[in-house]
Amino acid sequence: MDLQSLCTSCLLGILKNGVCTYCHKSIQEASSRPAGVLPDRYMLASRYYLGRVIGNGGFGITYLAWDCLEKRRVIVKELFPRQDVQRTQASGDITPVKGQEEYFEKLKQRFKEEALVLYNFRHEPSIMNVYQLMEENNTVYYSMEYLTGVDLKTYINQNGRLSWSMMSGYVKRLLYILRILHSQGLIHRDISPDNIFLTSVTDAKLIDFGSVRCFNNGQGLTTILKQVYAPVEQYFSNGNQGPWTDIYSLSVTIYHALSGQRPPKAPDRMKRDETIPIEKYCPDLPEHVTDAIMKGMALRDSERFQSAQAMAEKMFPGEDVFSSDQCRRTDGNPYRAGSKQYRAVRQPEQAGAGFWLQCAYGRYQGQRFFVSPNTSITFGRDSQCTIIYPADTPGISRRHFCLWCDQHGKLFIQDENSTYGTMVSGRRIEPGKWYQLKRGNTISFGNENYRIEGDGL
Protein backbone atom coordinates (compact mmCIF):
# COMPACT_ATOMS: atom_id res chain seq x y z
CA MET A 1 0.00 0.00 0.00
CA ASP A 2 1.23 3.45 -0.92
CA LEU A 3 0.83 5.24 2.39
CA GLN A 4 1.55 8.65 0.91
CA SER A 5 -1.56 8.44 -1.26
CA LEU A 6 -3.76 7.17 1.60
CA CYS A 7 -6.39 9.62 2.85
CA THR A 8 -5.57 10.35 6.48
CA SER A 9 -9.13 11.44 7.25
CA CYS A 10 -10.63 7.95 6.80
CA LEU A 11 -7.60 5.69 6.07
CA LEU A 12 -9.81 3.82 3.62
CA GLY A 13 -9.63 5.79 0.39
CA ILE A 14 -6.89 7.03 -1.93
CA LEU A 15 -6.24 10.66 -2.75
CA LYS A 16 -6.78 11.34 -6.44
CA ASN A 17 -6.52 14.89 -7.74
CA GLY A 18 -6.45 16.04 -4.12
CA VAL A 19 -9.76 14.35 -3.16
CA CYS A 20 -10.34 11.05 -1.31
CA THR A 21 -11.99 8.31 -3.38
CA TYR A 22 -13.83 7.05 -0.27
CA CYS A 23 -14.81 9.91 2.07
CA HIS A 24 -14.50 12.61 -0.64
CA LYS A 25 -12.62 14.98 1.65
CA SER A 26 -9.93 17.19 0.18
CA ILE A 27 -6.27 16.82 1.07
CA GLN A 28 -6.49 20.12 2.96
CA GLU A 29 -9.37 18.81 5.12
CA ALA A 30 -7.60 15.51 5.74
CA SER A 31 -4.33 17.13 6.85
CA SER A 32 -5.84 19.86 9.07
CA ARG A 33 -4.48 19.50 12.64
CA PRO A 34 -5.05 21.18 16.03
CA ALA A 35 -2.05 22.91 17.56
CA GLY A 36 0.36 20.79 19.57
CA VAL A 37 -0.46 17.37 18.09
CA LEU A 38 1.85 15.09 16.13
CA PRO A 39 1.97 15.90 12.40
CA ASP A 40 -0.18 14.25 9.77
CA ARG A 41 1.32 10.96 8.44
CA TYR A 42 3.65 10.58 11.42
CA MET A 43 4.99 7.02 11.77
CA LEU A 44 4.86 5.93 15.41
CA ALA A 45 6.94 3.00 16.69
CA SER A 46 7.71 2.06 13.06
CA ARG A 47 4.21 0.59 12.87
CA TYR A 48 1.38 3.10 13.27
CA TYR A 49 0.75 5.63 10.50
CA LEU A 50 -1.14 8.50 12.12
CA GLY A 51 -4.25 9.94 10.50
CA ARG A 52 -6.71 12.54 11.74
CA VAL A 53 -7.10 13.61 15.37
CA ILE A 54 -10.25 12.10 16.89
CA GLY A 55 -9.96 13.53 20.40
CA ASN A 56 -7.91 16.33 21.90
CA GLY A 57 -8.54 16.70 25.64
CA GLY A 58 -6.70 18.11 28.60
CA PHE A 59 -4.67 14.96 29.33
CA GLY A 60 -4.39 13.14 26.04
CA ILE A 61 -4.69 13.09 22.26
CA THR A 62 -6.45 10.34 20.31
CA TYR A 63 -5.51 9.58 16.71
CA LEU A 64 -6.97 7.43 13.98
CA ALA A 65 -4.09 5.30 12.69
CA TRP A 66 -3.22 2.61 10.20
CA ASP A 67 -1.55 -0.50 11.66
CA CYS A 68 1.05 -1.34 9.01
CA LEU A 69 1.66 -4.78 10.53
CA GLU A 70 -1.91 -6.02 10.86
CA LYS A 71 -3.26 -3.97 7.93
CA ARG A 72 -6.18 -2.44 9.82
CA ARG A 73 -7.43 0.83 11.27
CA VAL A 74 -6.77 1.34 14.98
CA ILE A 75 -6.95 4.08 17.60
CA VAL A 76 -3.75 5.40 19.15
CA LYS A 77 -3.95 7.25 22.45
CA GLU A 78 -1.12 9.59 23.50
CA LEU A 79 -0.48 10.92 27.01
CA PHE A 80 -0.30 14.70 26.61
CA PRO A 81 -1.26 16.76 29.69
CA ARG A 82 -1.18 20.06 27.83
CA GLN A 83 -0.98 22.28 30.93
CA ASP A 84 2.11 20.47 32.18
CA VAL A 85 4.20 19.69 29.08
CA GLN A 86 5.53 21.22 25.88
CA ARG A 87 6.16 19.56 22.52
CA THR A 88 9.07 20.19 20.20
CA GLN A 89 7.31 20.12 16.85
CA ALA A 90 10.44 19.24 14.85
CA SER A 91 11.06 16.02 16.79
CA GLY A 92 7.71 15.34 18.41
CA ASP A 93 9.41 15.06 21.82
CA ILE A 94 7.55 16.11 24.96
CA THR A 95 9.20 17.80 27.96
CA PRO A 96 7.45 18.68 31.23
CA VAL A 97 7.43 22.33 32.22
CA LYS A 98 9.65 23.28 35.12
CA GLY A 99 8.34 21.97 38.42
CA GLN A 100 6.05 19.36 36.82
CA GLU A 101 8.62 16.64 36.21
CA GLU A 102 7.54 14.40 39.10
CA TYR A 103 3.86 14.89 38.34
CA PHE A 104 4.40 13.94 34.70
CA GLU A 105 6.19 10.73 35.71
CA LYS A 106 3.19 9.84 37.91
CA LEU A 107 0.86 10.45 34.98
CA LYS A 108 2.97 8.14 32.84
CA GLN A 109 2.61 5.39 35.40
CA ARG A 110 -1.16 5.85 35.62
CA PHE A 111 -1.40 5.81 31.83
CA LYS A 112 0.51 2.51 31.70
CA GLU A 113 -1.76 1.09 34.39
CA GLU A 114 -4.81 2.07 32.31
CA ALA A 115 -3.39 0.26 29.27
CA LEU A 116 -2.52 -2.78 31.40
CA VAL A 117 -6.03 -3.02 32.84
CA LEU A 118 -7.51 -2.99 29.36
CA TYR A 119 -4.92 -5.43 28.04
CA ASN A 120 -5.67 -7.91 30.82
CA PHE A 121 -9.32 -7.90 29.70
CA ARG A 122 -8.52 -8.04 25.97
CA HIS A 123 -10.50 -11.27 25.48
CA GLU A 124 -13.71 -9.79 26.86
CA PRO A 125 -15.90 -8.76 23.89
CA SER A 126 -17.56 -5.92 25.81
CA ILE A 127 -14.33 -4.18 26.82
CA MET A 128 -12.27 -2.24 24.31
CA ASN A 129 -9.31 -4.31 23.12
CA VAL A 130 -5.79 -2.89 23.66
CA TYR A 131 -3.07 -4.14 21.32
CA GLN A 132 0.24 -2.53 22.27
CA LEU A 133 1.82 -0.19 24.84
CA MET A 134 4.62 2.05 23.56
CA GLU A 135 7.03 4.67 24.90
CA GLU A 136 8.27 7.25 22.44
CA ASN A 137 8.82 11.02 22.32
CA ASN A 138 9.32 10.95 26.12
CA THR A 139 5.68 10.02 26.64
CA VAL A 140 3.45 6.93 26.51
CA TYR A 141 1.06 5.57 23.88
CA TYR A 142 -1.17 2.58 23.43
CA SER A 143 -3.03 1.26 20.41
CA MET A 144 -6.53 -0.20 20.64
CA GLU A 145 -9.32 -1.46 18.44
CA TYR A 146 -11.20 0.91 16.19
CA LEU A 147 -14.90 0.82 17.04
CA THR A 148 -17.76 1.59 14.71
CA GLY A 149 -20.91 3.00 16.19
CA VAL A 150 -21.70 5.88 18.52
CA ASP A 151 -21.41 6.61 22.23
CA LEU A 152 -24.58 6.69 24.30
CA LYS A 153 -24.30 10.44 24.94
CA THR A 154 -24.27 11.20 21.21
CA TYR A 155 -27.10 8.76 20.59
CA ILE A 156 -29.30 10.45 23.20
CA ASN A 157 -28.48 13.91 21.81
CA GLN A 158 -29.34 12.83 18.28
CA ASN A 159 -32.29 10.51 18.87
CA GLY A 160 -33.72 11.35 22.26
CA ARG A 161 -34.31 8.94 25.10
CA LEU A 162 -34.18 5.17 24.69
CA SER A 163 -36.95 2.66 25.28
CA TRP A 164 -36.46 0.04 27.98
CA SER A 165 -36.65 -2.72 25.34
CA MET A 166 -33.54 -1.23 23.71
CA MET A 167 -31.72 -0.11 26.84
CA SER A 168 -32.20 -3.39 28.70
CA GLY A 169 -29.81 -5.24 26.41
CA TYR A 170 -27.10 -2.65 27.00
CA VAL A 171 -27.70 -2.76 30.76
CA LYS A 172 -27.22 -6.53 30.85
CA ARG A 173 -23.93 -6.13 29.00
CA LEU A 174 -22.75 -3.38 31.36
CA LEU A 175 -23.68 -5.34 34.48
CA TYR A 176 -21.71 -8.25 33.10
CA ILE A 177 -18.66 -6.02 32.58
CA LEU A 178 -18.92 -4.59 36.09
CA ARG A 179 -19.20 -8.04 37.59
CA ILE A 180 -15.91 -8.96 35.90
CA LEU A 181 -14.12 -5.77 36.99
CA HIS A 182 -15.36 -5.97 40.58
CA SER A 183 -14.37 -9.62 40.86
CA GLN A 184 -10.80 -8.47 40.17
CA GLY A 185 -10.96 -5.81 42.90
CA LEU A 186 -11.31 -2.97 40.38
CA ILE A 187 -13.86 -0.18 40.00
CA HIS A 188 -14.31 1.90 36.84
CA ARG A 189 -15.26 5.21 38.54
CA ASP A 190 -16.22 6.96 35.30
CA ILE A 191 -19.39 5.31 34.01
CA SER A 192 -21.39 7.84 32.02
CA PRO A 193 -23.13 8.02 28.63
CA ASP A 194 -19.98 9.25 26.84
CA ASN A 195 -18.03 6.21 28.09
CA ILE A 196 -20.55 3.65 26.84
CA PHE A 197 -20.05 2.88 23.15
CA LEU A 198 -22.92 1.31 21.23
CA THR A 199 -21.40 -0.96 18.58
CA SER A 200 -24.69 -2.48 17.37
CA VAL A 201 -28.39 -2.56 18.17
CA THR A 202 -27.67 -4.97 21.02
CA ASP A 203 -24.03 -4.63 22.00
CA ALA A 204 -22.20 -2.01 24.04
CA LYS A 205 -18.60 -1.60 25.16
CA LEU A 206 -17.33 0.21 28.23
CA ILE A 207 -14.50 2.58 27.30
CA ASP A 208 -12.07 5.01 28.97
CA PHE A 209 -10.44 3.13 31.82
CA GLY A 210 -8.26 6.05 32.91
CA SER A 211 -9.97 6.27 36.31
CA VAL A 212 -9.94 2.55 37.14
CA ARG A 213 -8.48 1.81 40.56
CA CYS A 214 -8.22 -1.05 43.00
CA PHE A 215 -10.76 -0.54 45.78
CA ASN A 216 -9.62 -3.14 48.30
CA ASN A 217 -5.93 -2.30 48.81
CA GLY A 218 -6.52 -0.09 51.86
CA GLN A 219 -5.26 3.06 50.14
CA GLY A 220 -7.17 6.29 49.56
CA LEU A 221 -8.59 6.97 46.09
CA THR A 222 -8.33 10.18 44.12
CA THR A 223 -11.33 12.46 43.64
CA ILE A 224 -11.40 12.14 39.83
CA LEU A 225 -15.08 12.24 38.93
CA LYS A 226 -17.70 13.28 36.42
CA GLN A 227 -20.38 15.66 37.64
CA VAL A 228 -23.97 14.31 37.87
CA TYR A 229 -22.88 10.66 37.44
CA ALA A 230 -20.54 10.43 40.45
CA PRO A 231 -21.83 9.49 43.94
CA VAL A 232 -21.03 11.49 47.06
CA GLU A 233 -18.15 9.26 48.20
CA GLN A 234 -16.26 9.97 45.00
CA TYR A 235 -15.92 13.64 45.95
CA PHE A 236 -13.58 12.75 48.85
CA SER A 237 -10.19 11.05 48.79
CA ASN A 238 -11.17 9.05 51.87
CA GLY A 239 -14.67 8.28 50.56
CA ASN A 240 -15.89 4.71 50.87
CA GLN A 241 -15.53 3.72 47.21
CA GLY A 242 -16.33 0.25 45.98
CA PRO A 243 -18.64 -1.66 43.58
CA TRP A 244 -21.55 0.43 44.89
CA THR A 245 -19.78 3.50 43.44
CA ASP A 246 -20.07 2.11 39.91
CA ILE A 247 -23.65 1.01 40.67
CA TYR A 248 -24.60 4.65 41.36
CA SER A 249 -23.01 5.91 38.13
CA LEU A 250 -24.63 3.15 36.08
CA SER A 251 -28.03 3.82 37.64
CA VAL A 252 -27.82 7.55 36.90
CA THR A 253 -26.77 6.72 33.33
CA ILE A 254 -29.81 4.43 32.93
CA TYR A 255 -32.03 7.17 34.43
CA HIS A 256 -30.67 9.69 31.90
CA ALA A 257 -30.98 7.33 28.93
CA LEU A 258 -34.59 6.36 29.70
CA SER A 259 -35.91 9.76 30.81
CA GLY A 260 -33.79 12.09 28.71
CA GLN A 261 -33.14 14.07 31.92
CA ARG A 262 -30.18 14.30 34.29
CA PRO A 263 -30.81 14.20 38.04
CA PRO A 264 -29.16 16.81 40.32
CA LYS A 265 -25.54 16.31 41.38
CA ALA A 266 -25.01 14.09 44.41
CA PRO A 267 -23.78 16.93 46.72
CA ASP A 268 -26.85 18.99 45.80
CA ARG A 269 -29.06 16.00 46.49
CA MET A 270 -27.49 15.67 49.92
CA LYS A 271 -28.64 19.20 50.80
CA ARG A 272 -32.10 18.80 49.30
CA ASP A 273 -33.00 15.88 47.10
CA GLU A 274 -35.21 17.11 44.30
CA THR A 275 -34.70 14.08 42.06
CA ILE A 276 -37.88 13.29 40.14
CA PRO A 277 -38.62 9.54 40.33
CA ILE A 278 -37.98 7.80 37.03
CA GLU A 279 -41.58 6.52 36.85
CA LYS A 280 -42.80 10.12 36.43
CA TYR A 281 -40.92 10.29 33.13
CA CYS A 282 -41.43 6.65 32.15
CA PRO A 283 -44.82 5.46 33.46
CA ASP A 284 -44.66 2.29 31.35
CA LEU A 285 -41.48 0.99 33.00
CA PRO A 286 -41.96 -2.23 34.99
CA GLU A 287 -42.06 -1.54 38.71
CA HIS A 288 -39.08 -3.75 39.46
CA VAL A 289 -37.01 -1.72 36.97
CA THR A 290 -37.95 1.64 38.48
CA ASP A 291 -37.25 0.27 41.97
CA ALA A 292 -33.83 -1.00 40.86
CA ILE A 293 -32.85 2.32 39.26
CA MET A 294 -33.84 4.41 42.28
CA LYS A 295 -32.18 2.00 44.72
CA GLY A 296 -29.00 2.16 42.64
CA MET A 297 -29.14 5.97 42.90
CA ALA A 298 -29.46 5.99 46.69
CA LEU A 299 -27.28 8.70 48.25
CA ARG A 300 -25.99 6.48 51.07
CA ASP A 301 -23.70 3.81 49.69
CA SER A 302 -25.02 1.27 52.21
CA GLU A 303 -28.53 1.65 50.75
CA ARG A 304 -27.46 0.83 47.19
CA PHE A 305 -26.89 -2.57 45.64
CA GLN A 306 -23.53 -3.83 46.84
CA SER A 307 -22.80 -5.82 43.67
CA ALA A 308 -23.70 -6.04 40.00
CA GLN A 309 -25.18 -9.46 40.74
CA ALA A 310 -27.64 -7.99 43.26
CA MET A 311 -28.70 -5.26 40.85
CA ALA A 312 -29.19 -7.75 38.03
CA GLU A 313 -31.38 -9.97 40.21
CA LYS A 314 -33.65 -7.01 41.04
CA MET A 315 -33.75 -5.50 37.58
CA PHE A 316 -34.16 -8.78 35.68
CA PRO A 317 -36.07 -11.10 38.05
CA GLY A 318 -36.07 -14.73 37.02
CA GLU A 319 -33.25 -14.22 34.51
CA ASP A 320 -29.69 -15.42 34.98
CA VAL A 321 -28.05 -12.42 33.34
CA PHE A 322 -24.57 -13.88 33.78
CA SER A 323 -25.27 -17.39 32.47
CA SER A 324 -23.71 -18.66 29.25
CA ASP A 325 -27.10 -18.19 27.55
CA GLN A 326 -27.46 -14.54 28.55
CA CYS A 327 -23.82 -13.42 28.40
CA ARG A 328 -23.30 -13.90 24.71
CA ARG A 329 -21.16 -12.27 22.15
CA THR A 330 -23.05 -10.34 19.51
CA ASP A 331 -22.82 -13.31 17.16
CA GLY A 332 -25.01 -15.36 19.50
CA ASN A 333 -22.25 -17.67 20.71
CA PRO A 334 -21.58 -17.94 24.46
CA TYR A 335 -18.24 -16.88 25.84
CA ARG A 336 -16.34 -17.38 29.06
CA ALA A 337 -14.63 -14.59 30.93
CA GLY A 338 -10.94 -14.34 30.08
CA SER A 339 -11.11 -17.06 27.46
CA LYS A 340 -10.62 -17.12 23.71
CA GLN A 341 -12.32 -20.49 23.34
CA TYR A 342 -15.45 -19.32 21.57
CA ARG A 343 -17.69 -21.75 19.73
CA ALA A 344 -18.05 -21.09 16.01
CA VAL A 345 -20.46 -23.70 14.72
CA ARG A 346 -23.22 -24.04 12.19
CA GLN A 347 -26.64 -23.64 13.76
CA PRO A 348 -29.19 -26.46 13.47
CA GLU A 349 -32.38 -25.76 11.61
CA GLN A 350 -34.91 -24.04 13.85
CA ALA A 351 -38.63 -23.41 13.68
CA GLY A 352 -39.95 -19.93 13.00
CA ALA A 353 -38.42 -17.00 11.16
CA GLY A 354 -34.75 -17.07 10.37
CA PHE A 355 -32.33 -17.10 7.48
CA TRP A 356 -30.01 -19.52 5.80
CA LEU A 357 -26.77 -18.37 4.22
CA GLN A 358 -25.82 -20.64 1.34
CA CYS A 359 -22.13 -20.44 0.37
CA ALA A 360 -22.20 -20.44 -3.45
CA TYR A 361 -18.43 -20.48 -3.79
CA GLY A 362 -15.41 -20.01 -1.56
CA ARG A 363 -13.90 -21.80 1.42
CA TYR A 364 -17.26 -23.09 2.72
CA GLN A 365 -18.78 -23.83 -0.67
CA GLY A 366 -21.93 -25.93 -0.37
CA GLN A 367 -22.35 -25.29 3.36
CA ARG A 368 -25.28 -23.44 4.93
CA PHE A 369 -25.33 -21.30 8.08
CA PHE A 370 -28.47 -20.38 10.01
CA VAL A 371 -29.17 -16.98 11.62
CA SER A 372 -32.05 -17.13 14.09
CA PRO A 373 -33.99 -14.14 15.49
CA ASN A 374 -32.20 -12.07 18.15
CA THR A 375 -28.78 -13.38 17.13
CA SER A 376 -25.94 -12.17 14.95
CA ILE A 377 -22.88 -13.77 13.38
CA THR A 378 -19.57 -12.30 12.26
CA PHE A 379 -17.29 -13.25 9.38
CA GLY A 380 -13.53 -12.69 9.33
CA ARG A 381 -10.05 -13.98 10.15
CA ASP A 382 -10.17 -13.20 13.86
CA SER A 383 -10.50 -16.25 16.12
CA GLN A 384 -13.38 -14.49 17.88
CA CYS A 385 -15.53 -14.41 14.73
CA THR A 386 -18.34 -16.91 14.19
CA ILE A 387 -17.33 -17.89 10.67
CA ILE A 388 -13.52 -17.97 10.69
CA TYR A 389 -11.17 -17.85 7.70
CA PRO A 390 -7.44 -18.71 7.73
CA ALA A 391 -5.07 -15.87 8.54
CA ASP A 392 -3.68 -15.82 4.99
CA THR A 393 -7.07 -15.70 3.24
CA PRO A 394 -6.82 -12.91 0.61
CA GLY A 395 -9.28 -10.03 0.68
CA ILE A 396 -10.77 -10.85 4.09
CA SER A 397 -10.19 -8.65 7.14
CA ARG A 398 -9.80 -9.80 10.72
CA ARG A 399 -13.41 -8.82 11.37
CA HIS A 400 -15.02 -8.36 7.98
CA PHE A 401 -18.81 -8.00 8.44
CA CYS A 402 -21.66 -8.79 10.80
CA LEU A 403 -25.16 -10.15 10.13
CA TRP A 404 -27.96 -9.44 12.61
CA CYS A 405 -31.48 -10.91 12.66
CA ASP A 406 -33.76 -8.86 14.90
CA GLN A 407 -36.70 -10.07 16.98
CA HIS A 408 -39.10 -9.24 14.13
CA GLY A 409 -37.29 -11.51 11.70
CA LYS A 410 -35.55 -8.79 9.70
CA LEU A 411 -31.97 -9.37 8.57
CA PHE A 412 -29.30 -6.63 8.54
CA ILE A 413 -25.65 -6.43 7.51
CA GLN A 414 -22.85 -4.11 8.61
CA ASP A 415 -19.33 -3.95 7.17
CA GLU A 416 -16.85 -3.85 10.08
CA ASN A 417 -14.46 -1.40 8.38
CA SER A 418 -12.93 -4.12 6.24
CA THR A 419 -9.99 -3.22 4.00
CA TYR A 420 -11.44 -4.41 0.70
CA GLY A 421 -15.14 -3.94 1.43
CA THR A 422 -18.32 -5.99 1.38
CA MET A 423 -20.60 -6.22 -1.66
CA VAL A 424 -24.36 -6.76 -1.41
CA SER A 425 -25.87 -7.85 -4.74
CA GLY A 426 -22.96 -6.22 -6.57
CA ARG A 427 -22.89 -2.91 -4.67
CA ARG A 428 -20.33 -2.01 -2.02
CA ILE A 429 -21.88 -1.02 1.33
CA GLU A 430 -20.53 1.76 3.50
CA PRO A 431 -18.67 0.54 6.62
CA GLY A 432 -20.26 1.10 10.01
CA LYS A 433 -23.84 1.36 8.74
CA TRP A 434 -26.62 -1.22 8.96
CA TYR A 435 -28.37 -2.28 5.74
CA GLN A 436 -31.47 -4.46 5.57
CA LEU A 437 -31.17 -7.58 3.43
CA LYS A 438 -33.81 -9.42 1.41
CA ARG A 439 -34.16 -13.03 0.41
CA GLY A 440 -32.16 -13.57 -2.76
CA ASN A 441 -29.50 -10.94 -1.96
CA THR A 442 -25.91 -12.03 -2.43
CA ILE A 443 -22.98 -11.14 -0.19
CA SER A 444 -19.50 -11.05 -1.74
CA PHE A 445 -16.17 -10.41 -0.02
CA GLY A 446 -12.67 -11.55 -0.99
CA ASN A 447 -13.21 -14.64 -3.11
CA GLU A 448 -16.36 -15.61 -1.21
CA ASN A 449 -20.00 -15.46 -2.23
CA TYR A 450 -23.12 -16.21 -0.17
CA ARG A 451 -26.82 -16.13 -1.01
CA ILE A 452 -29.59 -15.24 1.49
CA GLU A 453 -32.33 -17.88 1.77
CA GLY A 454 -35.15 -18.55 4.25
CA ASP A 455 -38.61 -17.42 5.27
CA GLY A 456 -37.70 -14.41 7.38
CA LEU A 457 -38.64 -11.77 4.79
Inter-residue contact 75 to 146 (CB < 8 Å):
yes
pLDDT of 362 strictly over 70: yes
Mean pLDDT taken over the chain? 84
Inter-residue contact 397 to 409 (CB < 8 Å):
no
Which of 233-242, 317-326, 392-401 reaches the highest mean pLDDT?
392-401
Question: In this predicted structure, what is the pLDDT of residue 219?
Answer: 45
Domains and CATH numbers, the chain: 33-145 (3.30.200.20), 150-315 (1.10.510.10), 355-453 (2.60.200.20)
Question: In this predicted structure, what is the pLDDT of residue 96?
Answer: 93
* Interatomic CA distance for residues 452 and 412, integer angstroms: 11
Question: In this predicted structure, what is the pLDDT of residue 454?
Answer: 65
* Interatomic CA distance for residues 167 and 320, integer angstroms: 17
Mean pLDDT of 270-275: 92
Mean pLDDT of 116-120: 78
Residue 330 binned pLDDT confidence (cut-offs 50, 70, 90)? very low
* Interatomic CA distance for residues 412 and 432, integer angstroms: 12
Question: In this predicted structure, what is the pLDDT of residue 188?
Answer: 86
Mean pLDDT of 278-290: 95
Inter-residue contact 295 to 313 (CB < 8 Å):
no
User: What tens digit of pLDDT does each residue of 287-323 get?
Assistant: 999 999 999 999 999 999 999 999 999 999 988 887 6
User: What tens digit of pLDDT does each residue of 206-240 get?
Assistant: 887 767 655 544 444 444 567 899 999 988 877 88
Work out whether strand 196-198 and strand 139-145 pair parallel, antiparallel, or are unpaired: unpaired
Question: In this predicted structure, what is the pLDDT of residue 149?
Answer: 81
Question: In this predicted structure, what is the pLDDT of residue 49?
Answer: 96
Q: What percent of the chain has pLDDT over 90?
A: 44
* Alpha carbon separation from 20 to 28, 39, 87, 146 (Å, rounded): 11, 19, 30, 20
Question: In this predicted structure, what is the pLDDT of residue 332?
Answer: 37
pLDDT of 57 strictly over 90: no
**Span between the terminal Cα atoms of the chain, in Å:** 41
Residue 245 binned pLDDT confidence (cut-offs 50, 70, 90)? very high
Question: In this predicted structure, what is the pLDDT of residue 400?
Answer: 94
Q: CB under 8 Å, gap of 24 or more: what pairs does 423-432 form?
A: 431/12, 431/148, 432/148, 432/149
Closest alpha carbon to 374 in 330, 316, 314, 327: 330
Question: In this predicted structure, what is the pLDDT of residue 1?
Answer: 64
Inter-residue contact 456 to 441 (CB < 8 Å):
no
pLDDT of 286 strictly over 90: yes
Question: In this predicted structure, what is the pLDDT of residue 192?
Answer: 93
pLDDT of 334 strictly over 50: no
Q: How many residues does the chain have?
A: 457
Inter-residue contact 219 to 193 (CB < 8 Å):
no
185 half-sphere exposure, CB direction, 13 A CA radius: 6
User: What tens digit of pLDDT does each residue of 439-456 get?
Assistant: 889 999 988 989 998 644
Question: In this predicted structure, what is the pLDDT of residue 225?
Answer: 62
Question: In this predicted structure, what is the pLDDT of residue 348?
Answer: 32
Question: In this predicted structure, what is the pLDDT of residue 89?
Answer: 85
Question: In this predicted structure, what is the pLDDT of residue 238?
Answer: 78
Question: In this predicted structure, what is the pLDDT of residue 393?
Answer: 87
One-letter amino acid at 366 equals: G
Question: In this predicted structure, what is the pLDDT of residue 9?
Answer: 92
Q: Which residues contact 273 (CB under 8 A, 6 or more apart)?
A: 264, 299
Mean pLDDT of 79-103: 92
Work out whether strand 375-380 and strand 387-388 pair parallel, antiparallel, or are unpaired: parallel
